[in-house]
Amino acid sequence: MGTGILIDTNAVIDFQSGQLPTAALNWMVRMIDEGAGYLSVINRIELFIRPGDTNEEAALRQFVASCQVLPLDEPVVLQTIRLRQQHRVKLPDAIIAATALVHGLLLLSRNTSDFRTVAGLTLLNPHEPDGLPA
């Protein structure tokens, strides 16, 4: 799949609510515009379970449509099982991490502590924009 970012639910919420630092916001928009923005099916589910007003939901639908949503397919399932066997990570986080690993994507998440122990996962915190790639 090449270089791209898997955008965690909290990063989408921060994006939608205007809470991202400007550098991270601009970088994220550029990645999405270049077709390098991805979501796990878990992120999609998490995003739409919290109720919002009509405008918020429309903006969220537009955001999700601008990214490719990656399915919970067999390689992701197998990687999730391995992660759960090796780490004390919640199932949704294991699926998100497995999706990033299987597809060779960077994971953009504010909740770095949820993913720190996952070997091979490249994790970026959008609230630390100095750590974002150029």
CATH of residue 108: 3.40.50.1010
User: Does residue 84 fall inside a structural domain?
Assistant: yes
Domain membership of residue 26 as a residue range: 5-128
The rounded distance, in Å, linking the Cα atoms of 14 and 19 is 5
C-alpha span between 60 and 78 (Å, rounded): 30
Report residue 46 as tokens. Answer: 């998490």
Q: Residue 80: inside a domain, yes or no?
A: yes
Euclidean distance between CA atoms 63 and 101, whole angstroms: 23
Domain assignment present for residue 20? The answer is yes
- Provide the token pair at 70: 């990656």
Does residue 95 lie within any of the structural domains?
yes
Q: What is the pLDDT of residues 73-87, one digit of tens each?
A: 999 999 999 999 998
Each residue's pLDDT tens digit, 22-53: 999 999 999 999 999 999 999 999 999 977 78
Residue 134 lies in a domain: no
Convert the pLDDT of each residue in 76-121 to its tens digit.
999 999 999 998 889 999 999 999 999 999 999 999 998 998 999 9
- Distance separating alpha carbons of residues 26 and 81, to the nearest angstrom: 35
CB-facing half-sphere around the CA of 41: CA atoms within 13 A: 8
